[in-house]
Chain A
Amino acid sequence: MPEPALEVEALEVRYGAVPALRGATLSIEKGEIVGLVGPNGAGKSTLLHAIMGALPIAAGSVRFEGRPLAGIPTERIVRQGLALVPEGRHIFPDLTVDENLRLGLVGRGSTDGIAEDLERVRTLFPVVHEFRGRQAGLLSGGQQQQLAIARALVSKPRLLLLDEPSLGLAPSVVETVWNTLGEIRSTGVTILLVEQRAQITVGFADRTYVLGDGRVKMELGPQDADDTERMVEAYFGS
């Protein structure tokens, strides 16, 4: 059986003396779209940042395609094939849309196929091409979100992490973004999707983990989306 794309085992992350993750465990198979939901402060963002090497790992392990990631600097992790679309987009407002996109190229593991990937991304997200000369800060929230995802995609990731891409976006825009995620998956990219809106995520992803109090509480499937009792238990149960 091929290795899981991502394996997180008993991960602990602390801010000073305050624990944010107290032993989170999950795994993602290649080609899956896996959701991660949970109340505020549960540690979802922390988990993503720890995987990317942006936060020091106190205990536990993270493995990408079988190789450990702990202790490796972010710049190498990106070149190994991971990319993060951070919460709040974090595009560079004073740079043009095109410059933002080209920044994503910096994290590529290899230099071939750039033209094709740029083309593909422009097809997936037409705004990126349409507004290429404009300052990115002038784009709308939804457009910036698309730019952020495009930017992550051109670094040619095999695992794409998204931190609350629907935050602050109108529902119709959210739907567009998520449909695009489906298309991205079909190109062979594995996706870990962190979201606040539990029910929609559970219904959309192949599987969804529920994170609470720094630990993975349970795993849900799309069939649980309409099961209110199960959802409540997931969020508020101990």
Chain B
Amino acid sequence: MNVGQTIINGLALGALYALVAVGLALVFGVLRLINFAQGELITAGAYTLSLTTNWPVIAQILLCFVVCIGLSVAIERIAFRPLRGAAPATTLVATFAVAFALEAVWLIAFGANGRPAGPLSTLNTIAIRGSLNLRWITIVEIAAGLVLLGGTALILNRTSIGLQMRAAATDFRTARLLGVRTNLVISFAFVIAGVMAAVVALLYTVQTPLVTQTFGLDITIIALVGAVVGGLDRLWTATAGGFAIGFATSVLGDVLPASQEKFLTAFVFLLVILLLLLRPGGLFTGFGRTTVERV
């Protein structure tokens, strides 16, 4: 077992989960809504890729973005607007229902057998040989994570809409009183979530080229769990949590002896419970806070 390999693979998977977590955290920040249906955006993007396998790759990628962003904004408009003001636990169950309904839609539309997709499958080749077998996809995943998270940070900190988003996430009511265009801000959060979903769909199909109706659900559940453990009510703690659970899952998968490997899920979730018990408000919270945590 190669330590370097394990760490790099961990970073790549962590980056992927971090991207999902960012989408979840942004939406939670402005709406206090836990978007279980985020995973369906990823699935939608993946199915789009599977339907357009004959297209040029650029076109495939573009359409994937259009579908993910469009669906994201549509779901917000149709399903989530009435949920504003409900308690997070209620929204969790409601978005769970939306996700469930969408999965049935995929089943009806595409059947239970998977569809192949993978426009970027060429990335699944070795880039660097030697002591580390580095695949292109691993590099791309880490790079994508850095670029997109960095871009999100830039938007949030350097643009007016980003400032409004941060304000709305802190104190929605006061932001509204100041004249912040709340619907615009919320839609923007969903746009970013859609972008993240598209990227994840593109990257995930490289190593999992078969699209089924639960394609995005599994990764979203894990990312959500990670985000909650990290601390859902702050963007960067949630993202760090998503990254951490991805990293931990990958590393544990490499580290566990073969006989125990089938219990990987159990180990990860046991860790989750432990962390939630130790710090229910979030693992990474407490760094740089000036005000009291809201549970």
Direct chain A–B contact by Cβ atoms under 8 Å: yes
Query: Which positions in A face B, CB cutoff 8 Å?
Result: 52, 54, 74-75, 78-79, 83-84, 86, 90, 92-95, 99, 102-104, 106-107, 135, 137-138, 151-152, 155
Closest beta carbon of chain A to B24's beta carbon, Å? 20
**CB–CB A94/B170 < 8 A:** yes
Closest beta carbon of chain A to B236's beta carbon, Å? 11
Complexed CA–CA distance, A104 and B167 (Å): 11
**CB–CB A54/B291 < 8 A:** no
**CB–CB B290/A103 < 8 A:** no
Q: Which residue of the partner chain, among A84, A86, A95, contacts B167 with CB atoms under 8 Å?
A: A95
Which residue of B has the minimal Cβ distance to A152?
A: B178
Q: Can you name 5 A-B pairs with beta carbons within 8 Å?
A: A54-B177, A75-B182, A78-B177, A93-B290, A94-B166
Complexed CA–CA distance, A145 and B201 (Å): 47
Residues of A with C-beta under 8 A to B179: 74-75, 78-79, 106-107, 155
Complexed CA–CA distance, A119 and B178 (Å): 20
How many residues of chain B get a CB closer than 8 Å to chain A's CBs?
Answer: 20
Which residue of A has the minimal Cβ distance to B177?
A: A84
Q: Which residue of the partner chain, among B171, B181, B182, B289, contacts A92 with CB atoms under 8 Å?
A: B171
Of the listed residues A90, A104, A152, the one surrounded by the most CB atoms of chain B closer than 10 A to its CB is A90
Residues of A with C-beta under 8 A to B160: 102, 106
Residues of B with C-beta under 8 A to A93: 170, 290-291
Residues of B with C-beta under 8 A to A94: 166, 170, 289-291
Chain B window 136-173, contacts with chain A (Cβ cutoff 8 Å), 1 for yes, 0 for no: 00000000000000000000000010011011001101
**CB–CB A103/B164 < 8 A:** yes
Known: A95-B167, A103-B167. A155 touches B177 (CB 8 A): no
Closest beta carbon of chain B to A199's beta carbon, Å? 29
Closest beta carbon of chain B to A159's beta carbon, Å? 14
**CB–CB B178/A107 < 8 A:** yes
B176 within 8 A of partner (CB): yes
Residues of A with C-beta under 8 A to B164: 103, 106
